[in-house]
A and B are shown apart, each in its own frame.
Chain A
Amino acid sequence: MNSIITAFDKGIEKSGVNPSRISVPSDIPFAPEVVNYLGVDFFHTTRGRAIAFGTGLKLGNPTLKVIPFVGDLMTLGGNHFVHAGRRNMELLVICVNNFVYRKIGDHATPSTPPAFSPYSTFEEPFNVPHLANSCGAIYAARWTALHTEELANSIAEALNKRGLAVIEVLSPGPNFYTEIGEIEPNLLNFYYEKSVVRNQEDPRDVGITPEGKIVVGKFTDKERPTFIDSYNAQLSKVLGDKFKPYGSER
């Protein structure tokens, strides 16, 4: 987690965005108190609702930069994620994926690849960048907690994108992996040896499997009108002068 926060700090600095204009809603698994020292506003909400909470923050004050830190993304937060993509809501979603619910005794998650659970899971995991891309996100990337430099650059780049940006960060859940013994005991080594950078790779091909390589990189980078763009365009068309475009602080 520390390396992610470090990368987050660097990323904000590189992006040129004033930290006081940044709001970070998170869901239950992630409440890093250290985030507060970066100068951002932090909201620790309910399980899975960080994106919905962030949608309210963004629409309440469109001049804010909103960065949901999510852990329950693919479970409780799945529907909000899908719709944030469809709307192209201006959020930078940072999905910290440690493959297991660390806080509650290592239960498997929908993004747990087979063999990453005590008796191995038999369910197909989600491929987060692929899902993001399919739902309409304009930016999708994946890095591991080892790739601090790349992650920081990615955060800086995504913060200045207009629309839904998604960065999946694979982070260690070390006890779990070492207990099973099936995976390299030194997880950082495991990430180091397994991961391979392939920018522009087709997101369909970056699913994580126990056998294959962990593909990291930036997979999607495109442009689409944001929710507020579309809202303003449609209402201006219908209401004409009676409508003042939405977007400034009120």
Chain B
Amino acid sequence: MKANPRDVNTGVYYMDGDVAAGYGALAAGCKFIGGYPITPSTEAAEAFARIAPKAGAMFIQMEDELGSIASVIGASWAGVKSMTITSGPGYSLMMENIGLGAMLETPFVILNIQRGGPSTGVPTKTGQADMMQSRWGSHGDYEIIAISPDSPQEMFDYTIKAFNLAERYRCPVMIMSDECVGHMTEKVVIPQANEIEMEPRRFYDGPKDKYFPFKPDEDLVPRMAKAGDGCKLYITGVIHDERGYPVKVEEYKSIYVKRLVDKIRLNKDRIIELQEEGTKDAEIVVVSYGISSRVAVRGIEKAREKGIKVGSLRLVTVWPFPDEKIAELARTIKAFVVPEINYGQIAFEVERCSHGKANVVLVPHGGAGVHNPDDICDAIEYAAKEKRKIEGTVEYKTKLERLIFEEGYKLHE
């Protein structure tokens, strides 16, 4: 199905990533955003609030993030595509209800413009340290999908993709962007509505009294109904059977939770999007996502100038994680280099999936800035020279860290 022309502001723009995400949400058919302002995500909410009323969509500034996310789940069950926009502290507040969303198999999108943490951290500057939180933040077993765009154009494109995935798999989808991409201003092309592919909600269309809200199709994803349709919905966050009624039997827990995780895991191949470049004869592969993948481009270039065979694997979809792809590469290469703006999150996933067959070098960054491409190049060089098989992940010391911790750099002089 194609997007509705009323929702698509076709044109060529010079806009930042946040604003592009707001336009992308509307183009995807989002009709409700409940949000609470937080730096550095506010521009996305403002953009949507500005354009939404003309397209029959609504933005409401809720009283807090707990209310925002609850209203978003409610709106989704009322039958409209919905989203919330937040960053660090707000994201933490949303965790309980993200679990509710996963449990009720509710399609909705969360845009997280990551900032420096922990706690208030550096509100106005970047970070990539919420990646594990996006996967494991709410209690219990569940699977979500997370996408990490690296340019304003991608913020537009992948916001639409996030909505499509949410509808397709009836689950929360996170757009794990960051302050740098959110506030990066570039050319954004918004195409005609008939060029935008939109996944409509997969509504149940059988007899009302035969509707089971959690009875899966063959692909393990159940059909949706909406409130007010006469289906007598009973929807609960308690473990439930196909009808939705609570059950406290051990067997049901396994049946239901297994399907919750399997509907993502077994559909992995259809969900995951990767950008792979020069990995065929590479001895080193740089695994990156979000803003770090953009910085890595220069680091890789520099390493290639030095004659090192480097490939790049960019994770557009970070969750579910491309286990098989990493394992496959690990068999043929010498090492992975993983630059990320944290002290090791995705790098450990890479280590897990490489099964000890390739070294893993983490290029960390404390946040509030992005990597120096030289550090990525140096880490590649180090990984190429290293002859030993190293157990675990090696944390590469960046120039800044060497300066501070080894060369006695004084912050206040």
| Chain A residues engaging chain B, CB cutoff 8 angstroms | 20-21, 23, 25, 31, 33, 36, 39-46, 48-49, 52-61, 63-64, 79-80, 82-83, 231, 235, 239, 242-244, 246, 249-250
Contacts and interface: CB of A to CB of B under 8 A. Distances in A.
B327 interface: no
B235 interface: yes
Given A46-B96, A60-B77, A20 B229 contact: yes
B34 A56 contact: yes
B211 to A, nearest CB: 11
B82 A56 contact: yes
B66 A56 contact: no
8 contacts: A45-B237, A52-B66, A55-B67, A56-B34, A56-B72, A59-B58, A60-B78, A250-B80
Interface string B223-246: 000111111111111100000011
B74 interface: yes
B300 to A, nearest CB: 44
Contacts, number: 152
A250 B31 CA distance: 9
Contacts of B56: 244, 246, 250
B62 interface: yes
Contacts of B67: 49, 52, 55, 79-80, 83
B227 A41 contact: yes
Contact of B70 (A31, A49, A242): A49
B97 A46 contact: yes
A54 B53 CA distance: 21
B231 A53 contact: no
A60 B70 contact: no
B326 interface: no
Nearest to A231: B58
B74 A54 contact: yes
B87 to A, nearest CB: 20
Given A64-B227, A235-B53, A243-B54, A57 B77 contact: yes
Contact of B100 (A20, A31, A46, A83): A46
A54 B62 CA distance: 12
B237 A61 contact: no
A57 B75 contact: yes
A139 to B, nearest CB: 21
A43 B80 contact: no
A60 B246 contact: no
Contact of B228 (A20, A52, A239): A20
Given A246-B58, A250-B80, A42 B235 contact: yes
A4 to B, nearest CB: 18
Contacts of A61: 78-80, 226-228
Contact of A242 (B54, B62, B237): B54
B301 to A, nearest CB: 47
Nearest to B230: A20
A79 B58 CA distance: 21
B212 interface: no
A60 B80 contact: yes
**Residue from B53, B56, B72, B231 whose CB has the most chain A CB atoms within 10 Å:** B53
A239 B53 CA distance: 9
Nearest to B78: A60
A242 B75 CA distance: 24
Contacts of B386: none
Contacts of B78: 23, 56-61, 64
Contact of B75 (A21, A60, A243, A249): A60
Contacts of A52: 62-63, 66-68, 70-71, 74
Nearest to A227: B60
A39 B237 CA distance: 20
Contacts of B70: 45-46, 49, 52-53, 55-56, 80
A74 to B, nearest CB: 15
B32 interface: yes
B53 A243 contact: yes
Nearest to B34: A56
A37 to B, nearest CB: 8
Contacts of A46: 70, 96-97, 100, 237
Interface string B86-106: 000000000011001000100
B73 interface: yes
B227 A57 contact: yes
Interface in B201-259: 226-238, 245-246
B114 interface: no
B236 A55 contact: no
Contacts of A41: 227-228, 231-233, 235
Nearest to B225: A41
Contact of B60 (A20, A54, A55): A55
B64 interface: yes
A58 B70 CA distance: 12
Contacts of A60: 31-32, 74-80, 82, 227
Interface string B341-364: 000000000000000000000000
A79 B93 CA distance: 14
Contacts of B71: 52-53, 55-56, 59
A56 B73 CA distance: 7
Nearest to A39: B232
Contacts of B72: 56
Nearest to A42: B234
A42 B74 CA distance: 11
B275 to A, nearest CB: 35
A116 to B, nearest CB: 28
A80 B63 CA distance: 7
Contact of B74 (A56, A79, A244): A56
Contacts of B77: 23, 43, 56-57, 60
Contacts of A25: 74
A42 B233 contact: yes
B180 to A, nearest CB: 31
A31 B246 contact: yes
Contact of A83 (B63, B74, B229): B63
